[in-house]
Structure 1
């Protein structure tokens, strides 16, 4: 019998295998759509073996759309200006893992195929780790093992699952985002002035994984603000009122000073990689130089490095992302509101509606708490406030600015709130055969000889004995839902996989 964490890790793995199998089948059966999008130029000298053909048959279906950019960057670097819209951390990881794999597979496969295998393996491992971190975060925030477990299972079958397995940065960004949130709830090690300075590392990595990673700094800033208001200042006031010598006041303010210094250092460390990337972009594309690219990469209409011809280079703060999104993809305020985009709005509407409805309901039902910015309240639990604000901001930003169909994968990888909402709405009762005595008997039968831990019992009751022995069977697949809302969530997650 598996523990809840083991079930989660195995199901995360099984769901990735199923997604990859499904994309291979659908890629073979459904003809490709010519969308007139970027396709990485192929090196004419690149050899192709039977092994490369097999890799393309198995994994070729995930090498579409933005995946073309990520594989291209991993193989050739930032050869064109439009590539700067894609952050470097994921392609760098893929490239260096591919170097290792190439020493083993290089005699059978070309480097392009090795890169595709590398991207798949990297995302497989990162996704499993992201599910584990989400589980720990959910237990800490929701204070319910059962709800946390359901949330992670729903994460594994979320509607944007294909993007978490394809050569996209969604899995990496989800891992870093969840880890920032988790570190901001820590109360233990490596803390300075009640700020966990190690939270700067996942925050830094999230910012060079996806552009919206900079929003994750909000969790660090809010955690510091909340600590100062709820702990530091009350302690200073209390000590000031109780001590006899008022001249000691400057020493009482020392914790406030150290909190500010710790916050400053944490933010600076988090921003360093992001600033380095922007500096690299500027010197590569805004300073005249020879690009030294092979001929097959230069036969293109895209702007090459070293030309110094792009308008963003002359900005007072030369950052490429906004210009490139607007120039190459027409991204901007309400620019996507066109009649022909109605199908894409319909595609994105379920996740946007669920998040908007429940976030606004939370604000309505906790208006006093929200006015207090989530600070301590004798009536309500303030712990969800910052997560609601975060996902609501991202949701509104998606509606107003981005290509609306992107919002599904953006929101699914940036916030756990969607999974927490759906887990609270899935009313999955205990299995009739999963009572305490039955489960404990199974534990004794396999030689453990002790009662199941009480905090695991709710999961065993949810899944039943049969599912707890399976690496891939979970309630989302095997259970019959008792009400319409639960059925709708189950149908939407399962049908999303079938439509990939």
Structure 2
């Protein structure tokens, strides 16, 4: 792909990401104007416990009121933490990156607006700015990562457009941590696959300051370390180098865990130390005092199979589209590349393939592979005829979910490439967690930052015979959830 095409595509993605945010903002304002909120407590703002004299909000103008009325659901916690710090035990369920960004912006760039709109309104406005700007940057990084993995700019562009209008879009435009998490997780993966491991470690560590599932990103470094250690020990026959790689990989994984662990230590210091045994909360006396797990279980009833109740059936239905798409993407990859999955990608070593371990700095693929590093190779006449016959046979058998076989049937490019394998493994873990452990309706936004979902949907939309039908269905799903989400969420009705 030429540099001009890449710049043009990135510009297009940036414009579409901006358009999608403006669309969400317009819909939110429209629904709030037309409907009355289910819960009218959004404007309540009691004094901070630690500092009752801290600056409060002002409701002397309609703009200030409109901004503050938009602080709903988890946004209440993020704004409150930015204003007053961590006052209550349950507030420690919300990690500090977004509140820190909100506080920093409200005390610097947006500080002059405090005298006009009031402190709380400026905090809320800062939250909106942080989330929406982070989303724009995340969309650009998503495109760059997609091009690097799939090696097809058109497929990457289509997947990135889907990301810009994803079904959880309302959360990426609200005072939620999804945008910051997407920025640092997708950005970190881009740098990881580019070979910039130190930058990748920093980005992925910061992602674990935004959302707790950021620690799962350490799995990518585990995958990388596994490959590099295998290459050093069994291919290069250098045991000392393999040991160095293992130690370095372990340290990088620890770095990604450190922010989350440090936050748990901070909670333990604030809520447990200096208290008598009678005053201590149950988690303080645990062998491993994990505040986050206790809060999720005690206040929100999160736990293995705890959500499997008949009354929660509507929530399972609400999450069924994203879970179905995720399961289809996983099943398709596993059934198309069973040997690759079973051997965790070591098939390349065992068969002597000419490609580098994964994840690998893809920008430095050997010159012999330079052609395949940009655009997938055109299949030979024999291969093309064989693929045509296979597609024709599958179409005759009525399989609606087949992807074009020329799209990534090799280990070096496309959705079925070995480079997608770690993304599939991570998505599998997150799907299982969302379905069996979490409040299942949260799956829509929990899985929305998973790149492989959009890669699969992008290929599915151009699948032979039924691609247009799948395209309509996918876009109808995204459109429906954007409209439904902006309507329900903005008026304090349950959504996800």
CA distance in structure 2 between the partners assigned to 1:387 and 1:405 by the alignment: 22
Deviations 1:290-345 (A, max 9, x none): 9xxxxxxxxxxxxxxx9952111111111101111111111111111222222111
CA distance in structure 1 between the partners assigned to 2:111 and 2:455 by the alignment: 43
Q: 1:37 to 1:342 in 2, by over 3 A?
A: farther
Q: Match for residue 98 of structure 2?
A: 90
Alpha carbons 1:331, 1:402 under 8 Å: kept: yes
Give the length in aligned residue pairs.
Answer: 409
Q: 1:159 to 1:172 in 2, by over 3 A?
A: same
Q: 1:371 to 1:207 in 2, by over 3 A?
A: same
CA distance in structure 1 between the partners assigned to 2:136 and 2:278 by the alignment: 42
Q: Match for residue 136 of structure 1?
A: 144
Deviation of 1:400 (Å): 0.4
Structure 1 counterpart SS, 2:457: helix
Alpha carbons 1:206, 1:213 under 8 Å: kept: yes
Alpha carbons 2:167, 2:478 under 8 Å: kept: yes
Pick aligned residue for 1:486 from 459, 471, 478 = 471
Structure 1 counterpart SS, 2:116: coil
- The answer to whether structure 1 residue 265 and structure 2 residue 270 are counterparts is no
CA distance in structure 2 between the partners assigned to 1:482 and 1:259 by the alignment: 44
- The answer to whether structure 1 residue 412 and structure 2 residue 448 are counterparts is yes
**Unaligned segments of structure 1, at least 5 residues:** 190-195, 238-251, 291-305, 430-480
Q: CA RMSD in A?
A: 2.6
CA distance in structure 2 between the partners assigned to 1:234 and 1:38 by the alignment: 63
- The answer to whether structure 1 residue 282 and structure 2 residue 255 are counterparts is no
Alpha carbons 1:344, 1:405 under 8 Å: kept: yes
Q: Match for residue 65 of structure 2?
A: 56
Q: Match for residue 155 of structure 2?
A: 147
CA distance in structure 1 between the partners assigned to 2:172 and 2:109 by the alignment: 21
Deviation of 1:261 (Å): 3.0
Alpha carbons 1:24, 1:60 under 8 Å: kept: no
Q: 1:221 to 1:213 in 2, by over 3 A?
A: same
Q: Match for residue 334 of structure 2?
A: 363
CA distance in structure 2 between the partners assigned to 1:492 and 1:35 by the alignment: 30
Pick aligned residue for 1:498 from 479, 483, 491 = 483
Map 1:205-284 → 2, pairs under 5 A: 205-229=206-230, 231-237=231-237, 252-284=238-270
Using structure 1 for the length normalisation, give the TM-score.
0.77
Alpha carbons 1:102, 1:111 under 8 Å: kept: no
Q: 1:37 to 1:143 in 2, by over 3 A?
A: same
Deviations 1:254-285 (A, max 9, x none): 32232123223322332332232111100100
Runs of 4+ in 1 over 4 A off after TM superposition: 35-40, 42-45
**Unaligned segments of structure 2, at least 5 residues:** 354-409, 412-416, 487-496
Name the stretch that deviates more: 22-31 or 391-400: 22-31
CA distance in structure 2 between the partners assigned to 1:25 and 1:139 by the alignment: 36
